[in-house]
Amino acid sequence: MKRTFLNTPTTARHPLLLSLLVTLWLVALSNLPLWQQLGQLPEVSGLRGLLFGVGLAFGIAGLTHALLSLLNWQWLLKPVLTLFLLSAASGAYFMWSYGIVIDASMIVNVMQTDPREASDLLNWRMLVILGLLGVLPVWWLWRQPVRELSWARRLGTNALSFVASIAVMVISLMLIYQDFASVMRNHTQLRYLINPLNSFYAIGRVVAQPLERDQSKVEPIGQDAQLALPAGASPATLIVVVGETARAGNFGINGYERNTTPRLAREDIVSLRNVWSCGTSTATSLPCMFSHLGKDGYEKRSSNHESLVDVLQHAGLAVLWIDNQSGCKGVCARVPNVSTTVLNVPAYCEGGECHDAVMLHDLDKRIAELPAERRAKGVVVFMHQMGSHGPAYHKRVPAAFKRFQPECASNALQECERQQVVNAYDNTIAYTDHFLAETIDWLKKRPGPTAMVYLADHGESLGENNLYLHGLPYAIAPDVQKRVPWITWASPLFQQQRGLRPSCLKDKQDTALSHDHYFHSVMGMAGVRAAEYRSELDIYSSCTTK
């Protein structure tokens, strides 16, 4: 009798058996987040709900296996199965841990994440889940000898298995069609939960996008831009703070039950609290808010355009972009810009990351280095905050500013109690309060009229309905990911010279506004006009008497 050793089968496996086993693993285990969410839907319950789940599982299995049948070739099989297993495992980890789903904008976020941010995401839980769902089956897979088939046999087998898989999918979905149609219509997010097809589909969308749009060209805008200040007004210094991951509802000045913003509360500011973001992630919101097109126009654009920052530069102002984030996503590419990571000021920076107050360090000097003829027309400094970027909220705030305790000090947020996550997040808002107040103090000392505009790129989920972080597709994202704070401060001289009335602006605090207003409003505050400027979208224009 022939002896077989454990784990080293002497009989080679049929390639079809391997693809079937992997499909089974993917559908049953790597899609646990999908099955969990499905189980929580009220309309999926009882025997009918169970049958629906089984039908859907067979439908997904059929589709997955049909795809694998096309790729089931001798040397290709194991790498393809490995890719499927690992993609599905990482998808499952992120869904489980942060309640995110995988779509094209999530893939763009991943591609634009810098190594520092990525290390924020690493933790033991991740290694365990990736190990169990991904590495374990991959390890088993590569130990299996695969039976060699002739090309003709292989082609025949693949064709048959493709047809059979499609048949399984179609029949399963037909049997549950009524429930399938209504559940998918009412819970569109479910399709982003199907591992690993969601990742492949999203990557396909991202790859196809540049084909729809010429990425090599940036269309100029605002070439006629010029300074148009009222008579007697002198050139101003404007600081435009681009906030990060700030939810309007967590600002004390917006009515939050916690006093997260004691310093801003003492300043003569106007805080608008019904402002809606363009996207739910930095990569989608930032270029959109700096675009003249607005959300709809930006999403449908056929080419890329210059940004608000370029328009101010064309108008001859001294423009500077200071970045304390993972970059400005292209909006500051053509103006003087500096990254604080490069500056690495020891008092503010540690381990390649700096606290936001670093942006005020040596600011006078940095402005003085801009061309004198531009400074004579006015100065606009953009400050891109690290703000409340998660999941490592605790890293965003110096120890002395952590007022809300105990705070979650892990980046695996779901391992902390929810209140600790909220505490850690609120500490970042309190630190933003400090940073904005310091910015206002800096402006008060500067000669001439000065002003500050602060607006965040998107909000954040803090464990409501088990959702964390941000980046859900806009249509299904909860309001907390989309409602952002917009704060304005102007010196008395600025108010007087421009005829800006804060009381008028305060009347708009609950008016529905959006990122669509940003481009035009910042142009208004900078005193710049160009063909693209629309006064009806400038929130300051109707509150300005000059």
Residues that bind Zn ion (CB under 5 A): 244, 282, 457
For the bound state, the minimum distance from the C-beta of residue 471 to Zn ion, rounded and expressed in Å, comes to 9
> What is the Cβ-side half-sphere exposure of residue 63, based on CA atoms within 13 angstroms?
17
**Which residues fall within 8 angstroms of residue 479, CB to CB, at 6 or more apart?**
459
For the bound state, the minimum distance from the C-beta of residue 502 to Zn ion, rounded and expressed in Å, comes to 28
For the bound state, the minimum distance from the C-beta of residue 245 to Zn ion, rounded and expressed in Å, comes to 5
For the bound state, the minimum distance from the C-beta of residue 112 to Zn ion, rounded and expressed in Å, comes to 11
Cα 362 from Cα 260, distance rounded (Å): 27
Cα 199 from Cα 58, distance rounded (Å): 20
25 vs 518 by CB, closer to Zn ion: 518
426 vs 460 by CB, closer to Zn ion: 460
282 vs 488 by CB, closer to Zn ion: 282
89 vs 467 by CB, closer to Zn ion: 467
19 vs 385 by CB, closer to Zn ion: 385
457 vs 516 by CB, closer to Zn ion: 457
Look at the block and give the residue holding tokens 């806009």. 474
Cα 352 from Cα 339, distance rounded (Å): 11
For the bound state, the minimum distance from the C-beta of residue 388 to Zn ion, rounded and expressed in Å, comes to 9
Please say whether the beta carbons of 449 and 493 come within 8 A: yes
Position 151: which residue type?
W
Cα 491 from Cα 449, distance rounded (Å): 6
Please say whether the beta carbons of 287 and 332 come within 8 A: no
For the bound state, the minimum distance from the C-beta of residue 262 to Zn ion, rounded and expressed in Å, comes to 25
Please say whether the beta carbons of 504 and 204 come within 8 A: no
Handedness of CA 86, 92, 95, 98 (dihedral sign): negative
Look at the block and give the residue holding tokens 């789903």. 101
For the bound state, the minimum distance from the C-beta of residue 328 to Zn ion, rounded and expressed in Å, comes to 12
Instruction: Report helix, strand or coil for 502.
Output: helix
311 closest CA partner among 295, 280, 290: 290
247 vs 394 by CB, closer to Zn ion: 247
For the bound state, the minimum distance from the C-beta of residue 244 to Zn ion, rounded and expressed in Å, comes to 5
Q: Which residue is nearest to Zn ion (CB)?
A: 282
For the bound state, the minimum distance from the C-beta of residue 121 to Zn ion, rounded and expressed in Å, comes to 15
Please say whether the beta carbons of 363 and 442 come within 8 A: yes
The conformation of residue 220, written as its DSSP 8-state character, comes to -
For the bound state, the minimum distance from the C-beta of residue 122 to Zn ion, rounded and expressed in Å, comes to 20
For the bound state, the minimum distance from the C-beta of residue 221 to Zn ion, rounded and expressed in Å, comes to 24
374 CB neighbour count, 10 Å cutoff:
18
Cα 327 from Cα 342, distance rounded (Å): 12
237 vs 282 by CB, closer to Zn ion: 282
For the bound state, the minimum distance from the C-beta of residue 458 to Zn ion, rounded and expressed in Å, comes to 5
For the bound state, the minimum distance from the C-beta of residue 457 to Zn ion, rounded and expressed in Å, comes to 4
Mark 415-452 as b/e (b = at least 16 C-beta within 10 Å): ebeeebbbbbbbbbbbbbbbbbbebbebbeebeebbbb
247 vs 374 by CB, closer to Zn ion: 247
Cα 546 from Cα 544, distance rounded (Å): 6
Phi/psi for 382 (5° steps) reads -95, 130
For the bound state, the minimum distance from the C-beta of residue 115 to Zn ion, rounded and expressed in Å, comes to 18
Please say whether the beta carbons of 321 and 328 come within 8 A: yes
Give one word for 222, left, alpha or beta, with left for phi > 0 and alpha for psi -120 to 50. Answer: left
284 vs 544 by CB, closer to Zn ion: 284
Distance of CA 40 to the CA centre of its chain: 26
109 vs 165 by CB, closer to Zn ion: 109
282 vs 291 by CB, closer to Zn ion: 282
341 vs 491 by CB, closer to Zn ion: 341
406 CB neighbour count, 10 Å cutoff:
12
∠ CA 177-178-182, nearest 5°, is 110
Please say whether the beta carbons of 304 and 219 come within 8 A: yes
- What Cα–Cα distance (Å) separates residue 279 from each residue in 282, 288, 483? 8, 8, 10
Please say whether the beta carbons of 34 and 194 come within 8 A: yes
Strands 237-243 and 450-456, by their bridges, are: parallel
391 vs 524 by CB, closer to Zn ion: 391
